[in-house]
Amino acid sequence: MSPMTDLGLRFVRRPGPGGRAANLAALGATAVVALLLTFLVAGSLGLVHRSDRIGWRGADKADPASAIGAIGQTEETVDGRQVLRIDLATMRPNQLPPPPGLDHTPKPGEVFVSPELAKHWPGPKPTGVISDKGLSSPEELVVIRGVARVDDPQYVSSWRDSVMDSRMVGLLIAVAFGITLVLFPILSLVGQAAGVAAKRREHRLAALRLAGATRTQVLWLSAVEQAVVGLAGAVVGLVGYTVLSPLIARIPLGGGRWYVHDITVSWWLVLVVLVAVPILSVISALIGLGRVSITPLGVVRGQTRKATSALRLGLLVIGPVVLGIYGMKAAVIPLMIGVGMAALAVRVVGPWAVQLIGKTMAGLANGPVALLAGRRLADDPKGAFRPVAALVLSGFVTGFISVFMPNGQGQDEATFHDLRIGVALLLSLVFLTVAASTAAGAVGTALDQAAPARALRRSGVPLQVIERSARVAAVVPVIGVGLPVVGFGALCGLALSGGKIVTQGNSGVLLLIGQVVAGLVLVAVAGAAGAPVLRKASAN
């Protein structure tokens, strides 16, 4: 083992003053990242699994000569419940296996029902119960009836066809959009998690550089430390996901609750998370440490950072223009590029806006709280924006979605249901990311401020002044940048819809108000995670 690897592992075991809190915060945030990534991938795969099992029901307009069956679908009401009835006439019953979930191919007159429907089945005892291999959800209400012939039939060429029904296609597109929209918040969280631990290392590593360690040695040492923290976070996240799986399976998206096995992680997904999460966090940490390894004195002495350029504002134009050009008829990829560019613009413009707000605030401040908060924002706008980037981006998501909120009347009820659950789910993911990011950021800031805060407390400055300035510095970017970003999100939504507001009723307004209130409460609560750390670290 190289000396630097040994030293890196030693620093993980004995992280020094404040290091344990920083490592725990980084581990917690990384665990949330691993959990979210696992959820997104396993959830998407779950949709595909679910769709594969019932794909044959969609038929594929096969040539009747080569088809193995003909089906007809009808919606009917049984015991007051909406039930899907599938009439199935098999063409070669003895030459092929039965359809998924049935123990034999239904002969004319035989009836198979789903377990949920079996509880309410009013007629004579059905021939059999459809197993989970033939159902999309344990709650699905479906009956498959064997018939000799089907009126107005559609033909099936294989029981394993992967023809998706329109609802599944819609859901997968929504998931793709969702992933695009939460990608930046999650990447921000990775950076935040790595940044908290890296900040604790800055001075130590700068000292090593001053003592003669090479740039490569310093970076390697950091990579070792961060990889261990990232791996531990990935394990915790995977365990957390597994523990939460039964709860996640209860989310009624895309036709009801889920079978737990649909969303259970496979060995290869475990491997991907265990490799990807540490790599992502190592890359984030190394990017953050570039400053140390290049100019160690700069970090040790805390010189002024370069101001961010207003040229970043130009990025704000690209997303709406792309969305406006392609509009609602576009293919998924250009739309995702448009939304992604808009989200990227928010991420890039955010720190510039934070710096502007900070300078203005410090210039106008008449009290110590506003002065400290303003200077902190102006001094390190990237650092100040990072913890709330996810929340600000969720404002973009909300603004965007608020244009497309139907009220469910006169429209496809199932689509409306999916959209509503999907929006709630998306915002929950973002809020979880924000909570982890804000809490990790608050701990990092508290550790950063420990020494001067201790000096201020000794000099008679109440701890409350320092805490309040930290809270103000956390909340101001949310209000100052987040609210305009909500408007920018709505603008992008309108660019996509060609200026048409799809939203009916007050659901869009409720969504926006809920987002703003929940976001501010979240930042205030999660930001409080720094208070006990600051209190302890700055104690006499």
Partner 1 sequence: MQQQAVLSGHGLVKYYGPVVGLAGVDVAVRSGEALAVMGPSGNGKTTLLHVLAGILTPDQGEVWLAGERVDQLNDAARTVLRRRRLGFVFQDNQLLAELPADENVALPLMVDGVSRRDAIGRARMMLAQVGLAAEAARRPGELSGGQAQRVAIARALVGEPQAVFADEPTGALDAATGAQVIDLLVGAATHRGAAVVVVTHDNAVAARCNRVLQIVDGRVSSR
Residues that bind partner 1 (CB under 8 A): 301-304, 365-368, 371-372, 375-376, 378-380, 451-452, 454-462, 465, 540
Nearer to partner 1, 313 or 364 (CB): 364
DSSP 315-334: HHHHHHHHHHHHGGGS-HHH
Q: Which is nearer to partner 1, 290 or 452 (CB)?
A: 452
- Closest by Cα among 506, 485, 446 to 22: 446
- Give me the least distance between CB of 362 and partner 1, in Å please: 8
Give the separation between CA 478 and CA 373, rounded to whole angstroms: 14
Please say which residue, 367 or 487, places its beta carbon nearer to partner 1: 367
Q: Give the nearer residue to partner 1 in terms of CB position, either 315 or 371.
A: 371
- Among 43, 58, 151, 152, residue whose Cα is nearest residue 99: 58
> CB of 202 within 8 A of CB of 293?
no
* Unique residue bearing structure tokens 């649909």: 262
- In the complex with partner 1, the residue whose CB is nearer, 172 or 371, is 371
- Smaller CB distance to partner 1: residue 368 or 484? 368
Question: In this structure, how many other beta carbons lie within 10 angstroms of the beta carbon of residue 321?
Answer: 14
Q: Could you tell me the smallest distance in angstroms from the CB atom of residue 182 to partner 1?
A: 32
Give the strands of the sheet with 111-113, arranged side by side: 128-129, 111-113, 142-146, 81-90, 69-78, 154-156
Using DSSP, state whether 111 is helix, strand or coil: strand
Tell me the DSSP string of 512-528. HHHHHHHHHHHHHHHHT
Q: Which helix (H) or strand (E) holds 82?
A: strand 81-90
Tokens standing for residue 14: 């004995």
Q: Quick one: 257 or 468, whose CB is closer to partner 1? A: 468
Minimum CB separation of residue 364 from partner 1 in Å reads 9
Based on the number of CB atoms within 10 Å of its own CB, is 178 exposed (0-12), middle (13-18) or buried (19 or more)? Answer: buried
User: Which of 262/467 has CB closer to partner 1?
Assistant: 467
Please provide the distance, in angstroms rounded to a whole number, between the alpha carbons at the two ends of the chain: 40
| Other C-beta atoms lying within 10 Å of the C-beta of residue 364 | 10
Rounded to an integer, what is the distance from CA 510 to the centroid of its chain?
A: 22
Q: At what angle do helices 507-527 and 413-448 cross, to 10 degrees?
A: 20
Residue 365 CB, nearest approach to partner 1 (Å): 6
In whole angstroms, how far apart are CA 423 and each of 302, 419, 420?
43, 6, 5
Report, in Å, the least distance between residue 449 CB and partner 1.
8
Distance CA 246, CA 268 (A): 21
Nearest approach, Cβ of residue 367 and partner 1 (Å)? 6
Nearer to partner 1, 347 or 376 (CB): 376
Residue 88: its H or E element: strand 81-90
Burial 377-407 (b: 16+ CB within 10 A, else e): bbbbbbbbbbbbbbbbbbbbbbbbbbbbbbe
CA-nearest of 469, 284, 466 to 374 is 469
Q: Judged by CB, which is closer to partner 1: 345, or 370?
A: 370
CB of 480 to partner 1, least distance (A): 18
CB of 524 to partner 1, least distance (A): 22
Least Å distance between CB 29 and partner 1? 24
Q: How far is the CB of 303 from partner 1 (least distance, A)?
A: 4
Nearer to partner 1, 362 or 522 (CB): 362
The minimum distance between CB 286 and partner 1, in angstroms, equals 24
Distances (CA, A) of 290 to 3, 303, 344, 412: 21, 15, 22, 52
Q: Which is nearer to partner 1, 399 or 444 (CB)?
A: 444
Beta carbon of residue 300, minimum distance to partner 1 (angstroms, whole number): 9
